[in-house]
Structures are given as C-alpha cells and as structure tokens.
Structure 1
Amino acid sequence: MIINKLANLTQKDRETFFWISNFILLVCGVVSFIIGIWMYIEKSDFAELTPASYSAMTSAGICAFTGASMCIICIIGCLVVWFRSKIMLITYVAFIIILGITQLLITITGLFNTENAQEFIRKDLLKNINSTHVLSQMGHKVELRITWDHMQETLQCCGVDRPDDWFYSKQWPNSQYVPDSCCNITNFASENDTYHCGMLPENRNLWHQQGCYPVFIDWLFHHIYIITWLAVVLVIVEIIVLIASILIWKPISEFHRIHQKRNHRRRLVEEANEELRLNPMDRIGNAANEPESVDQIT
C-alpha cells in the first residue's frame, strides 16, 4: 500500500519528499557532530585506563566524523536537485550506502559484542594496576596512579573486582596495601585523616568494598550505548533517504529525456540553418531560363 502511494507521487511531491528526507539527514548529521564534540569534552576522564578501541575519544571521533560526512552528503543531495545530475545522484546514493553499512556494523558491534568487550576491559584494568605509567593517545607519559586515584575517588570504588587487587602490586610488592583513594571519606572526619589509611589492612572496613570494574563499565558503556542507538536512528534515516533517492531518479531521468529532445531539435534547426547559409544559391533559379522582358511574359 505504501509502495503504491510512493510510486504514484507526482514529480513535485517526489522532490519535496527528497528535500525533507535530506533535511532530516542534515539534522541527524549536526546532532551526531555535536554529540561527538560533547563526548570529547565531557568524557575524557579515565581515558588512560580505557582501551583505545573503547575510549570516549574513539567514540567522539566516530560521531564527529559521521556528522561531518553526513553534512557533506546533504550538500551533494541539494546539488542533485538543483542541477538534476544523475552522476551526483549516483554519488549521493553510494555515500549513503557506505555510511549505512558503517552504521549497521557499529550497531551490531555495540549490541552483540558487549560481553567480550567487558571481559577485555576487565583484564586491561587488572594489567594497569601493576603498571606505573602508560602512554596516552597523544603520546605523553601519564602516571597511572593519578588516574586510578581520580577514578576511585570519583566512582567510590577500590581495585578492579575488590580491594585485594591492589595487594602486592608493583607499588608495594611485599605488602597488602591499597591507595589512600580507596578510603571511604564518610568514615573520616576530614579528607586529611585518610592519609596512609590504605596501609592499614586490619581496618579494611574503612575502604570502599566495591570494585571499580562494575561502575567503570557503566561509565564507559554509557557513551557506547549513545553511539549505538544513534547509529540505529541513522540507519533508519538513511533507508528513508535511499527511498527518496530512488523516487527522485524518475523526475531527473524525465528531465534529461526532455532536455535531450530539445537539444536534438535545436541541433536539427542549427544544421538546417547552417546548410542554407553555406548554399545560398540553391534557392535562386537559373537566370538563362528567365524571360528577358515583359513582352515575352505576355
């Protein structure tokens, strides 16, 4: 039923549908770009502890690049209607298909690969506990202790699965210590009182008992879920745009057919005029056969 209605749309309605779908695509592109910028600004905490393939920076880059690409594609879509160009329309459709496949892969990865990703991140956190520093994505040497302290204080957690993960780490290979950032501030009169509380294993009830892995995963996958569902929306919009592109093909083809007919007629007229210009005597009779006087005519 819907297909029949779309097939019976007039040329003007098809162009209007294309303009609307292209505008929706533009809005989605702008939103995606803004989300990418927001992720880059707001979600850079704990970046050193995040695997590069799952970091907020990577997600921010994907969103920003996708948004910018969609805006460029929308400009091509506008040129398609303005110039009635088949080549531009084919280019437009090709870009939409490539973008749609990319978004579909992101959606599948985000929805069905979470368990493997979570286990990979957990192992990476355990490895980082025994590392003193790491190279950031910008190539700078970053002390992991600072990042761990910031995360444990912010998320109110300790270790990966439990505080015991810190025992016998490289910072204190012979002791069952934890960083002072593991100390639960609510158990102390002031923050200064937490000094060296991580070196009191007999008072471990003063530490955060929850590991950082569950809350870190929630924090990390928050932006992954955003980009996944954004990809779902974009795939739906891109399908609508492809339908609009198919519908606009007929008016553009009709325009080219009429234009070719006009050009063909114009060429015929120009060729006829050119032939007359080159052979002007063809329309003049032979003077020898003309009567010499009026008397001969009578």
Structure 2
Amino acid sequence: MPAIRKIRRETSEISCCLKYLLFISNVLLWLAAIAILATGIWAWSEKDMFKNIAKLSSIALDPAFVMIIIGSIMSLLGFMGAVGSLRENTCLLAAYGIFLSILLIAEIGFCALAFVLKDKGWIKDQATEGLKAFIRHYREDADQQNLIDWIQEDWLQCCGIDGPKDWDSNNYFNCSSIAIGSREACGVPFSCCRRRPQELIKNKQCGYDVRKEGYGQELSKILYEKGCVQAGEEWIEHNLIIISTAVIFLMFFQILGICFAQNLRADIYTQKSKWH
C-alpha cells in the first residue's frame, strides 16, 4: 500500500480543467477589455483630447477616460490570467492573484464607506457636484452630453439636479442668454421631455422656452419635474437587492479567480519539485 500511494503522488499532474477554465475565462475578459479600451481611445481621439490639454480639467468625469481606465485594468488582468495559466507561469499567476485581491479589498472598502456615509450626505454631495459639471459642460463634450441625456431620458426619467431650473447654470439654457440670441435660452434639453404616447421620433425642440412664464401647470405634462438626485436615490432603494446580489456575485467570482490561481500555482510547484 505505501508503494502504491507513492506512485500515485508521483504521477499526479496539473489539473487541465483548472488550467483551461482559468485560461478561457481570462481570454474572454481580455477580449472584452480590448473592446472597451479601443472604444475609449477612439472617443478621446475624436474629441482631440490628446491634443487639447485644456479639456483635461474635467477628465475624471469624461466617460471616454473612464472607459480607458477600466479597459486598461481589465486587459492587464486578463493578460496575466490567460498567459499565466496557459504558460504555467507562477510569477504571472501570483501577480494575477495579488491584483485581484487588491481590487477585491478596494471594492469591499468602497462598499463599507458607502454604507457608513450614506446617511451623512457625502454620496449625495458627490453626485450633485458631478451632475453640476455635466450640466455646465453639456454642449462642450459630446460624451458627457450623451451620458446626461441617457440618465434623464432613459434611466431615471428626471431633469436637472433638483429640477428643470438647474439648467439655468448652463450658458445655452440660461434665461439671460436670450439677449445673445440663444434659441435654447430659458429651456431644457430634449431629454427632460416626457415621451408622448406612440411617439416614434422624439421632438428635439420640445424643451424650448418651457421655463418661461406662461407654462404654469402645463409644465408637468411636458417635462420630468423630478430632479436626478432624488430619482437616483429612489432607483437605488427600489433595486437595492439586485445591486447587492450583483456586487456579491462579482466578489464571489473574484475570490474564485484568486483560489484558482493559487491552486494552479501549487500544482505547478508540486510538479517542479519532482524534477529535482
């Protein structure tokens, strides 16, 4: 029996199932990351962000920049996991596990911070400042314009930060801009307008002049009067279970990736020890 057990230990091999499961999952991650990174770089080049340094003042709010950062992190992670598992490279697998661990710790810290500060208004203040920047630069950056239009029209069905009046902080929609000939003065973007029944093509001029005197109670039939901050809070409350489940699943797969990488490294070291 001891001899049989010894032979079994010596003929043990690296788990092909573990190796190729880690490889395939990280190849898919890497391909998705390349697509996100390429889209972000293309969007930046279209806006001449690489040449216009003045635009970098609001870089953190730029959707294209966010895509570049996310794509870069994901591609690096996918590369280390795919190559490390395929080539049985223990250094890359160790770096992959450490990188995943850092991301996991950062996510846990962010969730804990959000839970602690949710009643202190910090998150609401950050969202408010972000929306203020989006409103101010609405006509200056196509990506930010598309993002806030999507937030107002498709996601939260809201208008402004606390309501339509917040669009007064944009030079084009400010009521005083009537004097300089802005046709959008005292109005709001079309994304603030309620979609009419059976409306196939939305009227892009539906927000013109709606903040001028005379609309009165008719305004509620034309616009979303709820601010996006309040609408966002209500959306989170209604979808808290779904959000929590998604976060738990993400963390679970990260933990699984860390465990797979460490187990594969252990198998590789076991095989290398037999060569000596």
Q: Into which bin does the TM-score normalised by the smaller protein fall?
A: 0.5 to 0.7
Aligned length: 225
Alignment of 1:154-165 (within 5 A): 154-155=154-155, 156-165=157-166
**1:166: Cα distance to partner?**
1.9
Show CA shifts across 1:119-156 (max 9, x none). Answer: 4233111233233555xxxxxx5486566445533343
Q: Are 1:246 and 2:245 an aligned pair?
A: no
Cα 1:173–1:74 shift into 2, 3 Å? same
Which residue does 2:48 correspond to in 1? none
Q: CA deviation at 1:68?
A: 2.4
User: Alpha carbons of 1:27 and 1:167: their partners in 2 closer, same or farther (altered >3 Å)?
Assistant: same
Secondary structure, aligned partner of 1:194: coil
CA displacement 1:56-102 (0-9 Å, x = unmatched)? 4433332233222211212331xxxxxxxxxx54x245323433333
Cα 1:249/1:194, change in 2 over 3 Å: closer
2:162–2:229 Cα contact (<8 Å) kept: yes
Q: Quote the Cα distance in structure 1 between the aligned partners of 2:170 and 2:8.
A: 70
Deviation at 1:254, TM superposition (A): 2.2
Residue number in structure 2 paired with 1:65: 76
- The aligned residue for residue 111 of structure 2 is 111
| 1:26 positional shift | 1.0
Q: State whether residues 158 and 224 of structure 2, in contact with CA within 8 Å, keep that contact through their aligned partners in structure 1.
A: yes
| Mapped pair 1:194 → 2:206 | yes
Match of 2:186 among 177, 192, 211: 177
Task: Say if 1:143 and 1:213 are closer, same or farther in 2 by CA, change over 3 A.
Answer: same
Mark the CA change 1:92 to 1:186 in structure 2 (over 3 Å): closer, same or farther.
closer
Per-residue deviation, 1:159: 0.7
1:282 aligns with: none
Question: Which amino acid is 2:159 matched to?
Answer: C
The one-letter code of the counterpart of 1:184 is: R
Q: Tell me, in whole angstroms, the C-alpha distance in 1 between the residues paired with 2:72 and 2:126.
A: 21
2:219 alignment partner AA: R
Question: Which residue does the alignment assign to 1:209?
Answer: 225
Letter in 1 for 2:82: C
Aligned match for 2:18, one of 15, 18, 21: 21
* Mapped partners of 1:160, 1:27: distance in 2: 44
**CA deviation profile, 1:244-297 (whole Å, cap 9, x unmatched):** 422442332122x2xxxxxxxxxxxxxxxxxxxxxxxxxxxxxxxxxxxxxxxx
TM-score (normalised: structure 1): 0.56
* Mapping of residues 31-110 of structure 1, within 5 Å: 31-36=28-33, 51-52=61-62, 55-77=66-88, 88-89=89-90, 91-109=91-109
The one-letter code matched in structure 2 to 1:209 is E
Q: Structure 2 counterpart of 1:240, which letter? A: F
One-letter identity of the residue aligned with 1:12: T
8 Å CA contact retained: 1:24, 1:237 = no
1:137-188 Cα offsets, whole Å, 9 max, x none, are xxxx548656644553334321123223224543315499341412213289
String of CA shifts for 1:198-233, please: whole Å, max 9, x gaps. Answer: 2445232121123334667979xx99x978844541
Answering whether residue 152 of structure 2 is matched by residue 152 of structure 1, we say: yes
- The amino acid across from 1:10 in the alignment is R
Q: Among all aligned residue pairs of Structure 1 and Structure 2, give the percentage whose two residues are the same amino acid.
A: 13
Among candidates 125, 131, 152, match of residue 131 of structure 2: 125
Measure the CA separation in 2 of the matches of 1:232 and 1:251: 29
Cα pair distance change 1:59/1:232, threshold 3 Å? farther
The residue identity in structure 1 corresponding to 2:69 is T
Distance 1:63-1:163 versus aligned 2 partners, 3 A rule: same
- Structure 1 unmatched runs, 5+: 1-7, 78-87, 135-140, 258-298
Contact between 1:104 and 1:232, CA under 8 Å: does it hold in 2? no
Contact 2:97 2:261 in 1 (8 A): no
TM-score scaled by length of structure 2: 0.60
RMSD: 4.5
**Take 2:270 and 2:248, find their aligned partners in 1: how far apart are those partners?**
35
C-alpha contact 1:158 1:211 (8 A) present in aligned 2? yes
Structure 2 unmatched runs, 5+: 1-6, 44-57, 178-184, 237-241
Partners of 1:39 and 1:50 in 2: how far apart? 17
